Amino acid sequence: MTTGVIPGGHNPEPRPTGERMPQQRHQPGQASPHVETRSRSSVITARAAATFEPVGRSVATARSFVRDTLQGWGFADVVDDAVVLTSELVTNAVVHAGTHADVLCLRTDDGVRIEVADRYPEREVPLQGSAVNMGSPDREGGRGLQLCAALAARWGVEYTSTHKNVWFQLDLPERPVGTRAAGPSLPADLLPLADGRVRVAVVQIDRKGSISAWNEDAEEIFGHTATEVTGKPLTDLAAWPHTPGTGTGIAEALQLSRWEGSYGIRGADGRVTPVYASHLRVRDTGGEPSTVCLLVRDHERAVLQTPLRLPASDAGGSSDGQSSDPFEVFIGSPAPDDLDGLLQRTVERARDMLDGDSAFLLLATDDETELEVRASTGLPSARQRFARVPVEAGPGRYGSARMPAVHDDLAAVPGAVPLLAGTGMRSVVTVPLKVEGRLTGSLGVAAEAPGRYSNEEALRLQFAADRIALAVESARLGELERLRRGSLSFLVEASDLLAGTLDRDQTLALMAQMTVPTLATWCAVYTIADQASDPYLSYVLHEDEELIDGIKSLLAKVPPPDPVPTPGARVWTAPGEHAHQAALRSSMRSLGLTGGPTRQVSAGIGPTLATASAVGGETVVLPLVARNRVIGMLTLGKPTDEHFRQEILELAEDLSRRAALALDNARLYSERTAISQALQRSLLPPGTPHIEGMEVEVIYRAAGEGNEVGGDFYDVFPIDDNAYGFAIGDVCGTGPNAAAVTGLARHALRLLAREGLSGPAVLERLNSAILDEGARSRFLTLLYGEMRPQEDGSAEMKVVCAGHPLPLRLRQDGTVEAAAEPQPLLGVIEDLELYEQTVTLDPGDVLLCVTDGVTERREGTRMLGDDGLADVLTTCTGLTAGAVAARIMRAVERFASDAPSDDMAILAMRVPGLQKD
């Protein structure tokens, strides 16, 4: 966004000189004086301009720009209309037209003119008097001109070859000289007392919150000189109150266009001087915002404080004849803008109004069966927020929160007001809060003395409750809307996190971490393996890590909650009771006391007092139900004297449903993974046998996450005392289907070879077995051979290569050659005629066998190939079989950066070299 402010000057026309006269649009249904056909001449005293990018956030930025500009010019009377019109017109430009929006504010003697131009001129220029349909006011866009016609004194539309410009004029209302707001006239002896001359400190705060101006009266009141405080943040000097009901901090107060209130300023002597302040947000001609603070000593607040409107009984005598607002008379002005602040202010004012010792306000749940304590004063902490009491506490009208009630002496009717049980309160008056006949809450005032209240006090309190009920309900609905939006975001994020893992332990940890501390102070997750198993404590988390072990120890001694499938949260009292007993035992041992109640308590070391306090509040259990089965419980807890609010429990219930499904998915995945791994391991050879006079090394890599066996396979096994069989093959495809053929081939080779059949006979029978599988059959490439170590230190190899990559022989001189000829693969045709070839490995020679996952390793258009494999093998002269296999695997892995997409198997066999004397 680019902005500029141009002060002063006379300009007969708002548009730049030399611009051609634009055509105007006349809107049907509006009187012609409201739509200008040409701009009126006026004296422009100030300009402010800004350009906004075509993004959604620009609308809010444009609103702030216009509001700050007009507030700085002192045009508060027309700010709201100007902001509404600007918002609609900028929305049309940046959202609907998709172009930059140029906003120009022009200050004149009698009002303000605002122009909004977009850069989308490709539209029809309407003719004068032509019928124009502005559309429905309920549609998403297109309301800008309708609002201009309704709110602006004058407005118009101008077109150029590059821009479309909509402007509107807002005239300032008549401001007759006189009093705008005033308090009653008072006798001189009742006027506030001032110590000598009343001093008004004037302090200016820049946009960073630092002091930029400090007048002489400020020096006199607080003792700081201007030099000492200039450039310091006001927060270094201000003692801002942090009391219940105060929802605005000092930083927020300095950003408000207008604010009044009391706080303290630390003087040069270190003492805090209570002051009453009036803040005004201004903007200089350069566009720089700042806040001017006027401060007087608190007992002289009448100098600055805006007078409250008089009660209705005195309104008739006021000069302006305006009636007072009973809500503001009761709550005060300005009213707190947050629900908690409004409720706290309400109970404090209700207590003061009836001269009570305590007061409380409860809000009804959605089903109107319970009331939640939301604010109180003068009551113990156990009666504080979110404790719940039933709406119908007993028979008759005096036991229902739906009707006003006065109790002269609670001692005579114990339990009449459950909230006050054990508080020492004797008399109480309670009245309902209702909106359109629906119970929304209850307001009560109590006193320690009996007989304090009568029907007259009940009527006064009911009158006040009727005035605040709608405001309380509106604030409550606003809070619920914010909570629900936050809940939706929370559940979306939780679902994404839970869906991102199939690991059981990680799922348990996520469940706990999402609830603590967002929903509860501590959390425990119980899991149930099957219907016959008892719940097992699987995970515990507390926002204070030092208390986790203590809670685990406590819960291990408490029988787990019953796995009830009923949805919703239910209270679980066992942890709190056990914690209380453990704390009692610990305290008695520390005092050296024995006997008494401790004889009835089970022995053992209980948790610490800190742990007992941590779990001493409300504890609830939510079932984890997945696929119509209870698989565990989610336990949430609060520390001593704290309760869960209904909205939090509803959110926890939603989370428990998602967490249960994620936990069950993780369980199923773990079970199936374990089964798959067990089956896959059964397809692998039990091990490589030790062969006297030979070195044998195998490296095997299955493609795909979680796969231990794929379409490639190998085997080395004894046939008789002096002969060993070896095989390396590749089934078409990868994964479980290929692995099934792998198992068939490996086991068949062992059985047939041990029957004394030759290599070709073994492969011909295996070919028939594969074809017998029918539709499940897959073709197979296979290199099969038999090795027989010789007495002279060499080794005889009889090899059959059925469609497989040829084995490579590495001689001691570094030459590499193919050790067999290619023959047809298996699983394609029935009548195969295969033959075996004999290869003799001299001492130091290596026979390397690989699957095509090695030779077909790719990087872009390059492939390792047979020649690349041979080049790597030539560098392996003198290496052991294990070193040869490792070097081949490293070369394959380094050939491409991507993970291998095919199974790979490497079988290296080497005849050790002759020992020298």
The string of pLDDT tens digits covering residues 265-274 is 999 998 889 9
Site of tokens 């706990």: 512
Q: Is 438 exposed, middle or buried (0-12, 13-18, 19+ CB in 10 A)?
A: exposed
Tokens, residue 93: 């430009």
**Torsion angles phi and psi, residue 87, rounded to 5:** -60, -45
Asked whether 698 and 909 are in contact (CB, 8 A), the reply is no
Among residues 99, 97, 190, the alpha carbon closest in space to that of 144 is found at 97
Q: How big is the chain, counted in residues?
A: 917
pLDDT digits (tens, 9 = 90+) for 772-806: 877 667 788 999 999 999 888 899 999 999 999 99
Average pLDDT over residues 440-468: 88
Longest dimension (CA), the chain: 132
Quote the CA–CA distance of 611 and 546 in Å, as a whole number: 9
- What is the per-residue pLDDT for 708? 59
Beta bridge partners of 204: 213, 292
Pull the structure tokens for residue 697.
């090394």
Place of tokens 């408000």: 256
Q: For residue 192, what pLDDT is reported?
A: 66
Question: If pLDDT is split at 50, 70 and 90, which confidence band does 326 have?
Answer: low
Average pLDDT over residues 419-434: 87
**What is the CA angle 497-502-505, rounded to 5?**
85
Write down the pLDDT at residue 175. Answer: 61
- Tell me how far apart the alpha carbons of residues 447 and 362 are, in angstroms, rounded to a whole number: 18
- Residue of 64, 119, 71, 57 whose CA lies nearest to 86: 64
**Alpha helices, H only, 238-354:** 250-255, 326-331, 339-353
The answer to whether residue 424 scores a pLDDT higher than 90 is: no
Q: What is the pLDDT of residues 520-565, one digit of tens each?
A: 888 999 998 887 788 889 899 988 888 888 888 888 888 888 888 8
What's the pLDDT tens digit per position in 483-500? 777 777 777 887 888 888
* Both structure tokens of 807: 């084995």
* pLDDT for position 459: 86
CA proximity to 346, closest of 496, 510, 482, 469: 469
HEC string of 631-656 equals EEEEEEECCCCCCCCHHHHHHHHHHH
Question: In 152-169, which positions are buried (b, 16+ CB within 10 angstroms) versus exposed (e)?
Answer: bbbbbbbbeeebbbbbbb
- 565 or 295, which is more confident: 295
Give the range among 30-44, 678-692, 820-834 with minimum mean pLDDT. Answer: 30-44
Residue 190: pLDDT band with limits 50, 70, 90: low
- Mean pLDDT comparison of 378-392, 654-668, 842-856, highest-scoring range: 842-856
CB atoms within 10 A of CB 451: 12
For residue 514, what pLDDT is reported? 86
Residue 105 banded pLDDT, cuts 50, 70, 90:
very high
pLDDT in tens, 203-215: 999 988 999 999 9
Q: Which residues contact 772 (CB under 8 A, 6 or more apart)?
A: none
In the predicted structure, residue 223 carries a pLDDT above the cut 90: yes
| CA gap 699, 884 in Å, rounded | 11
pLDDT given for residue 677 in this prediction? 72
Calculate mean pLDDT across residues 837-854. 93
Residue 27 in this model has a pLDDT that exceeds 60: no
Q: Is it the case that residue 340 has pLDDT exceeding 50? A: yes
Facing residues of 780 across strands? Answer: 731, 826
> Where on the phi/psi map is residue 135: left (φ > 0), alpha (ψ -120 to 50), or beta?
left
Q: Residue 704 — φ and ψ, nearest 5°?
A: 100, 140
Q: Cα 610 to chain center, whole Å?
A: 31
Q: Calculate mean pLDDT across residues 113-118.
A: 92
Instruction: Identify the burial level of 343 via C-beta atoms within 10 angstroms of its C-beta, where 0-12 means exposed, 13-18 middle and 19 or more buried.
Output: buried
Which residue in 845, 828, 867, 853 sits closest to 904, CA to CA?
853
For position 442, what pLDDT does the model report?
A: 92
Q: Which helix (H) or strand (E) holds 908?
A: strand 904-910
Highest mean pLDDT among 70-74, 396-400, 819-823 belongs to 819-823
The pLDDT-based confidence of 428 (bands split at 50, 70, 90) is: very high
**In this predicted model, what pLDDT tens digit does every residue of 456-490 receive, in sequence order?**
888 888 888 888 888 888 888 887 777 777 777 77
Top pLDDT among 511 and 307 is at 511
Quote the CA–CA distance of 872 and 722 in Å, as a whole number: 32
Q: Report the share of the chain in percent with pLDDT over 90.
A: 22
Average pLDDT (428-457) is 89
Q: Which of 58, 42, 41, 40 is nearest to 50 (CA)?
A: 58
Categorize the per-residue pLDDT at 12 as very low, low, confident or very high, splitting at 50, 70 and 90. very low
User: Looking at the DSSP assignment, which residues form a beta bridge with residue 292?
Assistant: 204, 280
Mean predicted confidence (pLDDT) in 705-720: 77
Torsion on CA atoms 483, 487, 488, 490, rounded to nearest 10:
140
Give the pLDDT confidence score for residue 842 in this predicted structure.
Answer: 92
State the pLDDT at residue 293.
93
Question: Does residue 161 carry a pLDDT above 80?
Answer: no
Q: What is the pLDDT of residue 185?
A: 63
pLDDT of residue 446: 92
Which helix (H) or strand (E) covers residue 548, if one does? Answer: helix 548-556
DSSP character for 215? Answer: -
- The per-residue pLDDT of the chain, averaged, comes to 79
CA pair distance 25, 35, nearest whole angstrom = 8
Q: How confident is the model at residue 128 (pLDDT cuts 50, 70, 90)?
A: very low
The pLDDT tens digits of the residues spanning 234-265 come to 989 998 875 443 346 788 788 877 778 888 99
Task: Look at residue 195 and tell me whether its pLDDT is greater than 70.
Answer: no
pLDDT at 678 over 50: yes
522 pairs with which residues across the strands? 542, 637
**pLDDT bracket for residue 388 (50, 70, 90):** confident
| Residue 743 binned pLDDT confidence (cut-offs 50, 70, 90) | confident
Token pair, residue 828, equals: 């394609």
* Residue 577 reports pLDDT greater than 70: yes
pLDDT, residue 229, reads: 93
- Residue 398 pLDDT: 62
**Residue 634 and residue 664: Cα distance in Å, rounded?**
14
3 state DSSP class of 250: helix
* CB-CB contact of 756 with 780 (8 Å): no
Residue 706 pLDDT > 80, yes or no?
no
Dist. CA 199–CA 46, nearest whole Å: 34
What mean pLDDT comes out for the span 41-52? 82
pLDDT confidence band for 693 (50 / 70 / 90) = confident
pLDDT confidence band for 913 (50 / 70 / 90)? confident
Over residues 845-874, mean pLDDT: 91
